[in-house]
Amino acid sequence: MKLPLQDYVELLAKYLRPQRNRVILLAALIFGGIGLQLLSPQIVRGFIDTAQAFGANQQAEVTAALRRDGLLFLLVTLTAQVVRLSGAYVTEDVKWRATNWLRNDLSDHCMRLDMSFHNEYTPGAMIERVDGDVQELSEFMSQFVLRVLANALLLVGILILLYREQWQIGLAFTLYSVVMFTILIRTVKIGVPFWEAEREASSQMFGYIEEWLNGTEDIRASGGIEYVLDRLRRA
């Protein structure tokens, strides 16, 4: 089922607004990491250019410049690792807070539904839907939008640097990016029905497992162990 974009925006706003400070920090870490990714190759380039530019009679200047660039590259690399680890920690924090709130709201909503709903879905299937489906949304709830924006910024930054070096290379990579983006969008559309079928099959399987676990004694008494195992293998 397709939902309007506004519904996704409202969903994100509802569960991320209480964490605005963490989200701002996460955005700063993600975009800071993108900036460091763009900076590192430029430092390496400066290192190589410095090594090639000076003559043999300028050994002292070359050594000082290379040492400076090497230390700068090391500093940027270490900073990037710190930013990456910090971003991972903040992401997990935001993700678990948002998804747990969503689980609470879904559980409360399900408990308020009438018996016709509970007669249609087994407890195991409901648990898988409330917990498993929300878990699938965890990345979307925490950093999906930020990652899309950050990677778009990274792509634009790379293309700008390529155009600055040689416009033909920049144009070639621009066309390549457009083609790959088009293929990616089409691939996602193809995969959505299969993903929906997988989630439905998973909820049904957990529904069966919950029923079998609750009926363990009856299954043993009636000699239905092999039947249940066969159903489990087919699930």
Q: Does the residue 159 lie in any domain?
A: yes
Choose between 188 and 71: higher pLDDT: 71
- Say whether 26 sits in a helix, a strand or coil: helix
Q: What is the pLDDT of residue 119?
A: 80
Q: Does the residue 67 lie in any domain?
A: yes
Q: What is the pLDDT of residue 3?
A: 60
Choose between 166 and 135: higher pLDDT: 166
- DSSP string for residues in 71-82: HHHHHHHHHHHH
As a whole number of angstroms, the distance between CA 26 and CA 141 comes to 12
Tell me: pLDDT of 141 over 80.
no
Give 160-213 pLDDT, tens digit per residue: 888 888 888 889 999 998 998 888 888 877 877 787 777 777 777 777 777 777
Residue 179: how many other CB atoms lie within 10 Å: 10
Q: What is the pLDDT of residue 6?
A: 75
CATH no. for residue 73? Answer: 1.20.1560.10
Specify the pTM.
0.68
Categorise residue 223: left if φ over 0, alpha if ψ from -120 to 50, beta otherwise.
left
Mean pLDDT of the chain: 81
Tell me: pLDDT of 221 over 90.
no
Under the banding of pLDDT at 50, 70 and 90, the label for residue 110 is confident
Q: What is the pLDDT of residue 56?
A: 56
Q: What is the pLDDT of residue 79?
A: 92
Tally of domains in the chain: 1
- DSSP string for residues in 82-117: HHHHHHHHHHHHHHHHHHHHHHHHHHHHHHTS-HHH
Q: How much of the chain exceeds pLDDT 90, in percent? A: 6
Under the banding of pLDDT at 50, 70 and 90, the label for residue 88 is confident
Under the banding of pLDDT at 50, 70 and 90, the label for residue 153 is confident
Q: Does the residue 27 lie in any domain?
A: yes
Q: How much of the chain exceeds pLDDT 70, in percent? A: 91
Instruction: Report DSSP state, residue 70.
Output: H
Q: Does the residue 174 lie in any domain?
A: no
Residue ranges making up the domain that contains 131: 5-166
Tell me: pLDDT of 78 over 90.
yes
Q: Does the residue 173 lie in any domain?
A: no
Under the banding of pLDDT at 50, 70 and 90, the label for residue 143 is low
Overall average pLDDT of the 1-20 stretch: 76
